[in-house]
């Protein structure tokens, strides 16, 4: 947890993998240099050790895996209040993003919890609630277990919704279904803030080959997600980037499109 008090439960390859690489190849480079081994061994081990150091710094000081996500735009729920749905909430980084940045909002955290593995060990509602208690916001969050492609909520239940690094795990059909469901359960003019992986220089350095999240997608990410949100009945009102992250903020049209209706 690196002293933050939070425990978001990311598996060791994400949080400690780079340090393991550094611990193995750093001493190897030193031994090779002192014993006069072939230069390519010394240089190779040194480069790999340096990558381990830089990768760890990127993960913990830039991407901030052990902290709640920073709210990327003031345009999301500017009143500071309302009922928010977090799709694919996991261990709570995006849930806490909303609760800390919007102090009068409440959040329903929604996730499969334990039925699939997406990089979080022991992904349970209990872990999310423990992190909410660390942040002092546990009284404003409740947890529901289920599949975001089939939401168990009535139409027009929520004022806003968020999803961080979850929908981009899905197939194209899964994305369409989930965004349609999000539109269905939002009130007219309700907002949807989508955060997905942005394969920028930080990600390329820390994770040169990353499975999932559309890492190897050929279509430009901003156009892809703008189109997906528009197809689900959202008007795009803001978009931008944070390190490793693309965000797109949509607003449900007053006259909802015939998408995701049950």
For residue 76, give the nearest of 255, 250, 256 by alpha carbon. Answer: 250
Q: What is the pLDDT along the chain (262 residues), one digit of tens a residue?
A: 344 689 998 888 878 899 999 999 999 999 999 999 999 999 999 999 999 999 999 999 999 888 999 999 999 999 999 999 999 999 999 999 999 999 999 999 999 987 666 667 778 999 999 999 999 999 999 999 999 999 999 999 999 999 999 998 888 999 999 999 999 999 999 999 999 988 888 988 988 876 555 555 544 578 889 999 999 999 999 999 999 999 999 999 875 444 444 4
pLDDT of residue 200: 87
d(CA 84, CA 237): 18
The H or E element containing residue 229 is: helix 221-231
Question: What's phi and psi for 159, nearest 5 deg?
Answer: -80, -30
Q: Give the residues across from 20 on adjacent strands.
A: none
Q: How far is CA 220 from the centre of its chain?
A: 19
Cα dist from 25 to 7, 15, 62, whole Å: 28, 18, 23
Q: Note if the pTM is more than 0.95.
A: no
Superfamily of domain 81-252: Vaccinia Virus protein VP39 (3.40.50.150)
Which residues does 89 contact at the CB level (< 8 Å), separation at least 6? 95, 107, 109, 110, 111, 128, 143
User: At CA 144, angle to CA 140 and CA 145, rounded to 5?
Assistant: 150
pLDDT of residue 173: 95
Which residues does 179 contact at the CB level (< 8 Å), separation at least 6? 167, 192, 228, 229, 231, 232, 234, 259, 260
* Helices and strands (H and E) in the chain: how many: 8, 7
d(CA 91, CA 131): 8
Counting every residue written for the chain, the total comes to 262
For residue 96, give the nearest of 82, 107, 104, 88 by alpha carbon. Answer: 107
pLDDT of residue 119: 64
Q: How far is CA 144 from the centre of its chain?
A: 18
Cα dist from 166 to 4, 110, 122, 139, whole Å: 24, 11, 17, 24
Domain coordinates of the chain in residue numbers? 12-62, 81-252
């Amino acid at each position: 947890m690196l002293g933050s008090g939070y425990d978001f439960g990311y598996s060791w390859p994400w949080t400690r993998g780079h340090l393991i690489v550094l611990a193995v190849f750093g001493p190897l480079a030193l031994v090779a240099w002192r014993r006069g081994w072939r230069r390519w061994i010394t240089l190779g081990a040194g480069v790999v050790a340096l990558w381990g150091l830089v990768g760890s710094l990127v993960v913990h000081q830039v991407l901030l895996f052990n902290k709640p996500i920073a709210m990327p735009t003031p345009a999301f729920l500017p009143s500071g209040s309302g009922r928010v749905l977090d799709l694919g909430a996991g261990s709570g980084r995006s849930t806490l993003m909303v609760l800390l940045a919007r102090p009068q909002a409440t959040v329903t955290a929604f996730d499969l919890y334990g039925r699939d593995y997406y990089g979080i060990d022991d992904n349970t509602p209990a872990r999310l609630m423990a992190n909410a208690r660390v942040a002092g916001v546990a009284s404003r969050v409740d947890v529901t277990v289920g599949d975001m492609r089939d939401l168990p909520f009535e139409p027009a239940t929520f004022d806003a919704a968020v999803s961080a690094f979850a929908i981009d795990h899905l197939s194209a059909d899964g994305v369409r279904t989930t965004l349609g469901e999000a539109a269905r359960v939002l009130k007219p003019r309700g907002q949807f803030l989508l955060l997905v992986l942005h394969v920028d220089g930080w990600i390329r350095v820390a994770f040169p080959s990353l499975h999932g999240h559309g890492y190897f997608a050929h279509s430009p990410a901003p156009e892809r997600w703008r189109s997906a949100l528009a197809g689900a009945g959202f008007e795009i009102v803001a978009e931008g980037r944070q390190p490793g992250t693309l965000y797109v903020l949509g607003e449900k049209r007053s006259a909802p499109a015939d998408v995701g209706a049950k």
